[in-house]
């Protein structure tokens, strides 16, 4: 098939350049928005790690679409034309509501995981065909097309944070379906009488149908999630018919459900992503009315040690720990809640909960806890973190790939430095958490020159001796700024007569904590005592819940992660088999060039995202600011690459990839030291710094792919879809292995792996240059 230009299409009117770029923009934006929304739906119905795999499957769909188009072209089954481009966009639009209908009707359990993923691939597969066709037809405009592609993705990242909050997860999927519908109308303008074509008519009909579905979906529950048997919310509702949902709201990082019908003193329960929950306690606003009952609660023990404590509650949820602070006599309680939806839900109960978040002794702050305390100059008598996740998600491995900067050794140091001289850091979690909390504390105290045998004097650990049948044993871990006195230890012992003490300084200690704190075993020997991975967690690999030896990745999860990779190898082999033209013409340099780009981009992007999560803190800023910055700057770089002359492209490839190699190495080594120093600045300043730091890297990363496509387009008749697909497939490898490397070796190493990939791409640039001369 001969190339088709914007200005000349036989027997048809040309698609104007602005309409073409806007269509690509919409397809790309809808693709990224669908990816993000898919992770939210999967998180709320199955588990977080399956949501991560869904991203990989989505990337696989993009690449598979390119490969499929390449095979069809090689076999001369289809030709890339503006008409087929409009058809592919239409099919993408229609597939999205069908996809939503299917996954809502599938039982939301891991047993149907294969069907979930197959269903998820289809929309991205069609989107991949659409974009691959655009790059194939208008290959001389690759720089501008890639610019529209990246800018569309960047605005998708920015817009999804707003749309999810307004429409909710299911209706957001329907909204996304309208975007490629609009793109279909734009691509249909290649026809002289486009308004009479079936494609245009069907595209317009799809948009109108989606608009009607959105209008009536929330009221009539046409396409909404009604059951997820693997999640605590639906399990509890099935076990207790009195429970009923009274509130549901989404944002870009959670789905919040409010449930009523519980036994007193609880008047409601808040579920995060259908599983982790926090209770709302009924209270009349007078501490004396609930004091006697509250002081008998297990989690009150730390508050019993301090009189009128100045308290910091990180993740207060329904407000139980805030209430306990007030019962203990606190006149200064700072509650730092990440999710504003939770705070809004509690506040709506007003006097029924004593207006707890409007209490004159309580200062509620919407922020991420680690980020907040890094900027705070205050010191507290108690810093408490209680149950920020559910037992079900922990025991299932559902959080194994969820980074959490609240539980790293560096976070412990931040908390420790914000304690008063007699202050106590408190974690209320599960029994299985004890070894890792001890490891973190021991490692952190070692940084102050305090050996394990003295660290034990700062730590007290208690187990609840009366666990509920449907829940595991809870525990309280206390780390005191100064050693516990004999009097304080006795106070804990007397208070814990109904509980099981694991370690109380100068009173009692059980194995292997007794041996560690007496110096009989080293920390390394302590780690080896357990079947799980319990060594300290660092900011560079903040996977606190990744506890399977030797590297933290659950074995069954590794198998799931490699399902799309094995499929990718199969399709790559098939495509290569059918690609005689590529085998004869391009040689190995082009193959390794696009392989390196796919890996390098994902390695650098994912590791940089992890670094800046800590700087910006809040998930909304992480998603919108970081992705927006990288993609916009990449789009600008792609646009500028179109200005390079054809004969200079191989040399430009070498220079650009070499610069990315050098800058990413600098970032890998400098960011771990720079970001902690930037945390005290205001959020506006940190966002500005993020934009400045990411712009040069993103600008350069946006150039190598369109430059390579231009070279391929000039050499090969059918090669563009192949290399589009190859780049997409390698992005699957990159996204999966980036996290594996990050968990096992740290994200600094992941960044360095990305740097090495771009160095390989630079070398390939030299080889390509020699091939062309």
What SS3 class is residue 376?
coil
Question: Which region holds residue 747: left if phi is over 0, alpha if psi is between -120 and 50, else beta?
Answer: alpha
Phi, psi of 345 (to 5 degrees): -65, -45
**Contact between residue 43 and residue 225 where contact means Cβ atoms under 8 Å apart:** no
Higher pLDDT, 162 or 1: 162
Round to whole Å and give the CA distance between 410 and 495. Answer: 31
Name the pLDDT band for 739 (thresholds 50, 70, 90).
Answer: confident
pLDDT tens, position by position, 408-434:
999 999 999 999 999 999 999 999 999
Q: Long-range contacts made by residues 446-449, C-beta under 8 angstroms, separation at least 24?
A: 447/409, 447/413
What pLDDT, on the 0 to 100 scale, is given for residue 725?
Answer: 79
**Contact between residue 186 and residue 22 where contact means Cβ atoms under 8 Å apart:** yes
What pLDDT, on the 0 to 100 scale, is given for residue 671?
Answer: 92
Q: Pairing between strand 459-463 and 419-430?
A: unpaired
Tell me, yes or no, if the pTM score tops 0.75.
yes
What pLDDT, on the 0 to 100 scale, is given for residue 130?
Answer: 94
> What's the mean pLDDT when you consider all of the chain?
86
Name the pLDDT band for 718 (thresholds 50, 70, 90).
Answer: low
pLDDT tens, position by position, 454-477:
999 999 999 987 656 666 889 999
How many other C-beta atoms lie within 10 A of the C-beta of residue 344?
A: 15
What pLDDT, on the 0 to 100 scale, is given for residue 180?
Answer: 96
Token representation of residue 415? 């908390």
Q: What is the dihedral of CA 92, 98, 104, 107, to 10 degrees?
A: -100
What pLDDT, on the 0 to 100 scale, is given for residue 204?
Answer: 92
Token representation of residue 664? 């990413």
What pLDDT, on the 0 to 100 scale, is given for residue 131?
Answer: 93
Name the pLDDT band for 110 (thresholds 50, 70, 90).
Answer: low
Name the pLDDT band for 694 (thresholds 50, 70, 90).
Answer: very high
| CA dist 277 → 105, 107, 109, 463 (Å) | 25, 22, 19, 21
Is residue 551 classed exposed, middle or buried when 0-12, 13-18 and 19+ CB atoms within 10 A define those classes?
A: middle
Q: Is the pLDDT of residue 586 over 80?
A: no
Lowest mean pLDDT segment, chosen from 49-58, 218-227, 319-328: 49-58
Q: Is the pLDDT of residue 403 over 80?
A: no
Nearest to 618 by CA among 363, 388, 250, 336: 336
Name the pLDDT band for 773 (thresholds 50, 70, 90).
Answer: low
**Contact between residue 630 and residue 691 where contact means Cβ atoms under 8 Å apart:** no
The secondary structure of residue 554, as a DSSP letter, is -
| CA dist 754 → 416, 576, 747, 758 (Å) | 35, 25, 10, 6
**Quick one: how far is CA 86 from the chain centroid?**
32
pLDDT tens, position by position, 627-654:
889 899 999 999 999 888 888 888 899 9
Q: Is the pLDDT of residue 557 over 60?
A: no
How many other C-beta atoms lie within 10 A of the C-beta of residue 8?
A: 9
Contacts of 276 (CB under 8 A, 6+ apart): 232, 387, 388, 389, 390, 393
Nearest to 452 by CA among 508, 539, 523: 523
Residue with tokens 């795999």: 53
DSSP H helices, 617-718, are 619-621, 628-641, 649-678, 683-701, 704-715
Nearest to 325 by CA among 337, 340, 314: 314
What pLDDT, on the 0 to 100 scale, is given for residue 8?
Answer: 42
pLDDT tens, position by position, 207-259:
999 999 998 887 777 888 887 887 889 889 999 999 999 999 998 888 899 99
Round to whole Å and give the CA distance between 400 and 392. Answer: 12
Round to whole Å and give the CA distance between 175 and 252. Answer: 15
Q: Is the pLDDT of residue 575 over 60?
A: no
Higher pLDDT, 582 or 408: 408
% of the chain residues with pLDDT over 90? 52
Q: Long-range contacts made by residues 213-222, C-beta under 8 angstroms, separation at least 24?
A: 213/97, 213/171, 213/174, 214/167, 214/171, 214/174, 214/175, 217/170, 217/171, 217/174, 218/168, 218/171
Name the pLDDT band for 311 (thresholds 50, 70, 90).
Answer: very high
Average pLDDT over residues 260-271: 94
pLDDT tens, position by position, 647-663:
888 889 999 999 999 99
What pLDDT, on the 0 to 100 scale, is given for residue 556?
Answer: 57
Name the pLDDT band for 389 (thresholds 50, 70, 90).
Answer: low
The secondary structure of residue 537, as a DSSP letter, is P
What SS3 class is residue 265?
coil
Q: Is the pLDDT of residue 721 over 70?
A: yes
Name the pLDDT band for 400 (thresholds 50, 70, 90).
Answer: very low
3-state secondary structure string, 274-317? CCEEEEEECECCCHHHHHHHHCCCHHHHHHHCCCCCEEEEECCC
Question: Which region holds residue 519: left if phi is over 0, alpha if psi is between -120 and 50, else beta?
Answer: left
């Amino acid at each position: 098939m001969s190339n088709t230009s914007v200005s000349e299409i036989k027997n048809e009117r040309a698609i104007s350049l602005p309409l073409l770029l806007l269509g690509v923009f919409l397809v790309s934006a809808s693709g990224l928005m669908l990816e993000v929304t898919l992770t939210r739906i999967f998180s709320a119905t199955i588990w977080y790690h399956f949501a991560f795999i869904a991203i990989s499957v989505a990337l696989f769909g993009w690449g598979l679409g390119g490969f499929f188009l390449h095979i069809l072209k090689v076999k001369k089954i289809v030709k890339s034309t503006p008409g087929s481009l409009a058809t592919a966009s239409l099919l993408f639009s229609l597939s999205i509501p069908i996809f939503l209908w299917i996954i809502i009707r599938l039982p939301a359990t891991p047993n149907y995981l294969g069907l979930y993923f197959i269903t998820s691939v289809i929309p991205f597969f069609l989107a991949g065909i659409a974009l691959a066709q655009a790059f194939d037809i208008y290959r001389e405009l690759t720089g501008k097309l890639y610019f529209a592609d990246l800018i569309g993705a960047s605005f998708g990242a920015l817009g999804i944070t707003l749309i999810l909050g307004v429409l909710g997860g299911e209706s957001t999927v329907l909204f996304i379906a309208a975007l490629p519908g609009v793109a279909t109308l734009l691509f249909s303008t290649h026809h002289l009488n486009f308004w009479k074509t079936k494609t245009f008519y069907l595209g317009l009909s799809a948009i109108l149908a989606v608009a009607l579905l959105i209008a009536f979906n929330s009221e009539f529950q046409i396409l909404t999630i009604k059951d997820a048997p693997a999640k605590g919310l639906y399990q509890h509702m099935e076990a207790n018919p009195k429970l009923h949902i009274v509130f549901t709201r989404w944002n870009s990082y959670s789905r919040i459900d409010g449930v009523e019908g519980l036994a007193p003193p609880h008047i409601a329960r808040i579920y995060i992503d259908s599983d982790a929950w926090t209770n709302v306690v009924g209270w009349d606003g007078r501490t004396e009315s609930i004091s006697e009952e509250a002081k008998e609660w297990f989690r009150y023990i730390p508050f019993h040690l301090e009189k009128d404590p100045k308290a910091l509650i990180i993740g207060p949820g329904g407000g139980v720990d805030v209430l306990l602070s007030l019962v203990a006599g606190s006149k200064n309680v700072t509650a730092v809640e990440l999710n504003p939806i939770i705070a809004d839900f509690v506040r709506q109960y007003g006097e029924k909960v004593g207006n707890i978040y409007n209490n004159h002794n309580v200062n509620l702050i919407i922020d991420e806890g680690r980020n907040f305390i890094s900027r705070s100059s205050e010191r507290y008598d108690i810093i408490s973190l209680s149950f920020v996740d559910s037992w079900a998600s922990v025991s299932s491995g559902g959080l194994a790939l969820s980074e959490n900067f609240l539980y790293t050794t560096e976070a412990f140091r931040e908390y420790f430095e914000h304690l008063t001289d007699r202050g106590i850091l408190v974690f209320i979690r599960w029994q299985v958490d004890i070894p890792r909390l001890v490891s973190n504390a021991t490692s952190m105290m070692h940084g102050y020159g305090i050996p394990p045998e003295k660290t034990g004097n700062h730590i007290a650990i208690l187990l609840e001796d009366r666990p509920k049948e449907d829940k595991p044993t809870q525990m309280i871990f206390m780390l005191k700024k100064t050693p516990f006195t004999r009097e304080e230890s006795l106070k804990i012992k007397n208070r814990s007569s109904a509980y099981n003490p694991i370690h109380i300084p100068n009173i009692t200690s059980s194995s292997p904590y007794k041996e560690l704190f007496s110096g009989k075993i080293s920390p390394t020997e302590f780690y080896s005592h357990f079947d799980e991975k319990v060594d300290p967690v660092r900011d560079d690999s903040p996977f606190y819940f990744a506890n399977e030896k030797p590297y933290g990745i659950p074995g069954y999860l590794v198998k799931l992660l490699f399902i799309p990779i094995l499929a990718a190898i199969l399709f790559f082999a098939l495509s290569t088999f059918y690609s005689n033209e590529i085998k004869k013409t391009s040689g190995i340099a082009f193959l390794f060039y696009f392989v390196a780009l796919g890996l390098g981009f994902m390695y650098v992007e994912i590791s940089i995202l992890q670094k800046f999560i800590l700087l910006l803190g809040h998930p909304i800023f992480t998603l919108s600011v970081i992705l927006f910055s990288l993609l916009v700057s990449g789009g600008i770089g792609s646009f500028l690459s179109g200005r390079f002359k054809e004969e200079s492209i191989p040399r430009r490839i070498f220079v650009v990839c070499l610069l990315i190699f050098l800058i990413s190495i600098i970032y890998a080594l400098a960011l771990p030291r720079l970001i902690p120093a930037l945390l005290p600045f205001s959020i506006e300043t940190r966002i500005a710094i993020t934009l400045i730091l990411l712009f040069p890297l993103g600008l350069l990363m946006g150039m190598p792919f369109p430059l390579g496509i231009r070279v391929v387009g000039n050499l090969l008749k059918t090669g563009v879809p192949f290399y589009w697909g190859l780049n997409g497939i390698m992005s699957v490898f990159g996204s999966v292995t980036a996290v594996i490397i990050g968990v096992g070796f740290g994200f600094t190493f992941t960044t360095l792996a990305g740097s090495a990939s771009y160095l390989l791409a630079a070398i390939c640039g030299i080889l390509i240059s020699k091939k062309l001369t």
